[in-house]
Structure 1
Amino acid sequence: MNEVSVVREGWLHKRGEYIKTWRPRYFILKSDGSFIGYKEKPEVSSDHSLPPLNNFSVAECQLMKTERPKPNTFVIRCLQWTSVIERTFHVDSNEEREEWMRSIQAVANSLKSQQQDEEPMEIKFGSPSDSSGTEEMEIAVSKSRTKVTMSDFDYLKLLGKGTFGKVILVKEKATGMYYAMKILRKEVIIAKDEVAHTVTESRVLQNTRHPFLTTLKYAFQTHDRLCFVMEYANGGELFFHLSRDRVFTEDRARFYGAEIVSALEYLHSRNVVYRDLKLENLMLDKDGHIKITDFGLCKEGITDGATMKTFCGTPEYLAPEVLEDNDYGRAVDWWGLGVVMYEMMCGRLPFYNQDHERLFELILMEEIRFPKNLAPEAKALLAGLLKKDPKQSRRTANISTLSPACRPTNTSTFK
């Protein structure tokens, strides 16, 4: 393995992604593609005591020169997960810009050359070239290690369809039990660079057992498909119920909120941050209890106080610290809870604009507003969850306020 070295370092002006102001940052470009920005110049480039404000990779990036909105500007465009992102910088002279761009391009070219020279990493999906098309391989999921194949199920109806595959309601022949089978196409997962997300979802599903999280029953694969057999939450999407009812009673919203809190606390206790809480990822089971689905954006190994950097999630649900280019922690899940509970109690999003740039400004700057008829206790709950500053303990607010709702409740009144 090549030793990582500093290729270039110096001051740049970086433009904010959402609040379009220019900020001075001291950037260090390393031979492994790391492009790290600091508010102040570190005493030495290897000083890890000073937390970085920016941390990008220039691997497989594109570079563009422009004289707008300022002279001597350059843009780095790269792929982050499945999204193309751009980072904009400017310097004092054309010569300085050329030097930075040459250095960045040289690192990107070197990384590409190294990648071509290395043996490709094996992804144990089974062989796509297997012409038989019938061999299924078990993915280790449970202690029972029951091996199942496509032929063990009756396929009843399509529940949903997307870029990567589809979800089908199935009936297990041996037991008569109904499940939701998520079928993903391997070639699309690889082409869309979704392998990491898929592996994360599989691992989280395998390693978690909680009444308000979707349970994985089986996982297996064919030569060209990954199949996840999960419990079928036949109570429908919470989004559908809220669309029909327009707004939930405060008791009903608190009940759902308490169950979501229980699930998030469980994930956090296992050092998993969910990162994608939204109405569309909340289902109801046959008894009216919450089932959280879709674990592709989860981040594992995040202890209390640890942080993440990746910009991900759904725009309307993003926490301010994610938008500000800062590291963020578990508090993003409590912000997401605040947004979904606001939707349940108020019948709309707390911040919304079709223009994402304006939406992000609202999330960062706008004070939260409440309907006049909302009870003071509900306002206090939502205000606590939707604090702009994550250091002001959104978690304390939601746990203390929701704890009474954790008592047994008759869910039939909510259907």
Structure 2
Amino acid sequence: MGQDESTLSYTQRPQSMRPTNKPKKPDALKEDTKSLIISSHSYSFPLIIPDDTLTCGWLLSESIRIIADINSELAQQVVALSSGKSEGLDCWLLLYERTLVAFKNNDKIIPIFAEKVPERMSLAHFTLLKVIGKGGFSYVTAARKKDTGQLFAIKTMSKAFVLGEGKTEQIMIEKEILMKMKHPFIVSMYWAFQSVSKLYLVLELCPGGELFYHLHNIGRFTEEQAKFYFSEVMLALEYLHNMRIIYRDLKPENILLDIDGHIRVTDFGLSKQNISLRGRSYSICGSPEYMAPEMLLSGEHGPSVDFYTLGALLYEMLTGLPPYYDKSRSKMQWKIINEDLEIPNYISKAGKDLLSGLLQKKPENRLGFNGIEEIKSTEFCRKINWEAFYTKKVKPPLRPHIRASNFDPEYKDMKIDNEYFTEPVYSDVGFEGFEYDYKIEGEEIKIQNDMSNYSSVINTTTVSLNNSRLKNTEDSREKSEVWSTEISRNDEQLLRSKTKNKS
């Protein structure tokens, strides 16, 4: 009497508390099996995983079944699972056809229960998890939708700052551009809404973090690694230019990695719409390290400004620093305008030729000025299978570590219970028409972790309950591809001195 039921052994528990299939004790596991701990409320149950071909969909169905033995009504409210460990594992759990290879023996699995949300979209629909990014006037947080368990990134902006700095048009343009984006290498937007004092953009969560973070942890990429990211970015820029959009802010910080290591271009706050191949814009904007000479000289520029920044990105991936980099902003800008480009000897001739062509100081001499096919026809790009890249059939050279965070440690101690994340009360003062809902707009944006996909997965995984396994050919390579990087402290100290704020 008086013993806490949560501490009872399996055989001591009442029949109603036991899983249908009696699990083996963890210490009795065979070498090729593991046990995951399903932790719900005050109860914990071991679940034997006979091999890694079982899927996350199977794990969700088994977790629901185990909880149903305790409380069938509670089990009906389970919408997702969490690792309680990292956003990478949590995203993995939402991809129902992925295998359980990412999990280790005795990893905890926490069921997520649906919560009621208001009819109108607001911050009250989300549980904020952690800060994963910070800009000049915005925060980005990882968040879970309360009623579905889906994971998103929420960009939060202060209305007072936006209005005070005259950036209303910039924010509205960013929202308008994101509404149009339907491309595998550009981040998706699902909702836009506002409160009395804040603006919110709900975006695709990319648990791989910024390319900047990984590049500068490693130091520099090999030419083949750099070519992969260059190719995916090229396809994103080609799409934007076909949509008559100049991006104008290409840099490693604005390239995110998804769970598999494919890129997503994000942050369209400086982008310009309705610009043709020979069109011109006259504003000066961008990050100092990546500004094209014509932007610095007069501000007049066209789409080829993006090809200069593409060259600057490739240069940084291959060398570890942007071209003409200097701690002094004024000296760096002088170098961009006046100095000849220096390219290290270890870069191949094809790489040197491409960099020289992209980083031409006069736009009319720059590769891509007459169209992106000029770049595709270079020796560096000639053997690239663009269709294979577009369909993500080319395996990323590096894969984010899903058991640890891939976001900058500087965000780790940032609290999310500050003024940016209060007042989930609707108000459109100064921002009429800001709202967006991908469902209302009828957009065909796929949310991979949508529970609407779950029924078909359960129908498939029911078979696996009898066979004890479900083959997944796509995931057969997963064991050897999870990677992590060691931080070079010397490089980190130097490279963190880069100015990350937009001018």
Same-fold call, TM cutoff 0.5? yes
Normalised by the length of structure 1, the TM-score is 0.62
The separation in 1 between residues aligned to 2:254 and 2:150, in whole angstroms, is 23
- Distance, in Å, in 1 between the alignment partners of 2:199 and 2:329 is 34
Q: Is the 8 A contact 2:208 2:256 kept in 1?
A: yes
Deviations 1:92-134 (A, max 9, x none): xxxxxxxxxxxxxxxxxxxxxxxxxxxxxxxxxxxxxxxxxxx
Displacement, 1:165?
A: 3.2
CA–CA distance in structure 1, aligned partners of residues 138 and 332 of structure 2: 30
Residue 256 of structure 1: SS of its match in structure 2?
helix
Q: Which residue pairs with 1:156 in the alignment?
A: 129
Question: Residues 136-194 of structure 1: CA distance to partner in whole angstroms, max 9, x if unpaired?
Answer: 9xxxxxxxxx9522221111111133442321110112222110011112111101211
Distance 1:374 1:161 in 2: 34
Structure 1 counterpart of 2:265, from 267, 292, 298? 292
- For the aligned residues, what is the CA RMSD? 1.9
Check 1:203–1:381 CA distance in 2 against 1; reply closer, same or farther (3 A cut).
same
Q: 1:28 corresponds to which residue?
A: none
- Indicate the residue corresponding to 2:211 in structure 1: 238
Contact 1:171 1:179 in 2 (8 A): yes
Identify if the C-alpha distance between structure 1 residues 304 and 379 changes in structure 2 by more than 3 Å, giving closer, same or farther: same
Asked if the contact 1:186–1:225 (Cα under 8 Å) also holds between the matched residues in 2, the reply is yes
2:235 is equivalent to residue 262 of structure 1: yes
Aligned: 1:398 with 2:375: yes
Aligned to 1:409: 394
5+ residue gaps, structure 1, are: 1-135, 137-145
Report the Cα distance in structure 2 between the residues aligned to 1:244 and 1:161, rounded to whole angstroms.
Answer: 19
Partner of 2:191: 218
Q: Are 1:189 and 2:162 an aligned pair?
A: yes
TM-aligned CA deviation for residue 222 of structure 1? 1.5
The residue type paired with residue 324 of structure 2 is F
Report Cα offsets for 1:252-285 as digits up to 9, x if no partner.
1111111111111111111110011111111111
* SS of residue paired to 1:244: helix
Question: Per the alignment, do residues 161 and 372 of structure 1 end up closer, same or farther by CA in structure 2, a change over 3 Å counting?
Answer: closer
- Give 1:283's aligned residue: 256
- C-alpha distance in 1 between matches for 2:175 and 2:154: 13
Give me the whole-angstrom Cα distance separating, in 1, the residues matched to 2:207 and 2:382.
27
Which residue does 1:170 correspond to in 2?
143
Cα deviation code 1:288-338 (max 9, x no counterpart): 111111100000110110111101111111101112215210000000000
Letter in 1 for 2:139: K
Q: CA 1:413–1:225 in structure 2 vs 1: closer, same or farther (change >3 Å)?
A: closer
Once residues 222 and 291 of structure 1 are traced to their aligned partners in structure 2, the CA distance between those partners, rounded to angstroms, is 28
1:164 and 1:189 map into 2 onto residues whose CA distance is 8
Structure 2 Cα separation of the partners of residues 172 and 359 of structure 1: 44
- SS of the residue aligned with 2:383? helix
Relative to 1, partners in 2 of residues 1:208 and 1:339: Cα closer, same or farther, differing over 3 Å?
same
Deviations 1:363-392 (A, max 9, x none): 112111111211111111111111111112
Tell me the amino acid that sits aligned with residue 396 of structure 2. Answer: T
Q: Which amino acid aligns with 2:301?
A: Y
Alpha-carbon distance in 2 for matches of 1:413, 1:343: 17
> What is the Cα deviation at residue 230 of structure 1?
0.2
Measure how far apart 1:207 and its partner are. 1.3
**Aligned residue identity for 2:394:** T
2:154 alignment partner, SS class? strand
8 Å CA contact retained: 1:381, 1:397 = no
Where 1:236 maps in the other structure, the secondary structure is coil
Counterpart of 2:153, as a letter, is A
Provide the residue aligned with 1:251 in structure 2. Answer: 224
Q: Determine the C-alpha separation between the residues in 2 that align with 1:269 and 1:218.
A: 25
Do 1:319 and 1:335's aligned partners in 2 also have CA atoms closer than 8 Å?
Answer: yes
Contact 2:223–2:318, Cα closer than 8 Å, also in 1: yes
Tell which has more relative contact order, 1 or 2 (C-alpha 8 A, sep 6+): 2
What is the CA-CA distance between 1:197 and the residue it aligns to?
Answer: 1.2
Q: Hey, what does 1:378 align to over in structure 2?
A: 351
State the 1:400 CA deviation: 2.1
Contact (CA 8 Å) 1:335, 1:386: kept in 2 or not? yes
Structure 2 counterpart of 1:306: 279
TM-score relative to the length of structure 2: 0.52
Deviations, residues 344-368 of structure 1 (Å, cap 9, x unaligned): 0112221122233321221112111
Q: Is the 8 A contact 2:225 2:397 kept in 1?
A: no
Q: Which has the higher strand share?
A: 1
The CA distance in 1 between the partners of 2:156 and 2:320, in whole Å, is 33
Corresponding position of 2:291: 318
Match of 2:152? 179
- SS of 1:398's equivalent? helix
Q: Give % identity.
A: 36
CA distance in 2 between partners of 1:162 and 1:272 (Å): 22
Instruction: Determine whether 1:348 maps to 2:321.
Output: yes
Corresponding position of 2:39:
none
Secondary structure, aligned partner of 2:236: helix
Shift of 1:343: 0.5
SS of the equivalent of 2:148 reads coil
Q: Distance in 2 between matches of 1:203 and 1:411?
A: 30
1:343 and 1:412 map into 2 onto residues whose CA distance is: 17
Change in Cα spacing, 1:194 to 1:352, as seen in structure 2 (3 Å) is same
**2: CA distance between counterparts of 1:251 and 1:287?**
17
Q: Number of aligned residue pairs: give it.
A: 272
Q: Which amino acid aligns with 1:149?
A: S
> 1-side partners of 2:356 and 2:314: how far apart?
11
Q: Per the alignment, in what secondary structure is the counterpart of residue 160 of structure 1? A: strand
Distance 2:154 2:282 in 1: 32
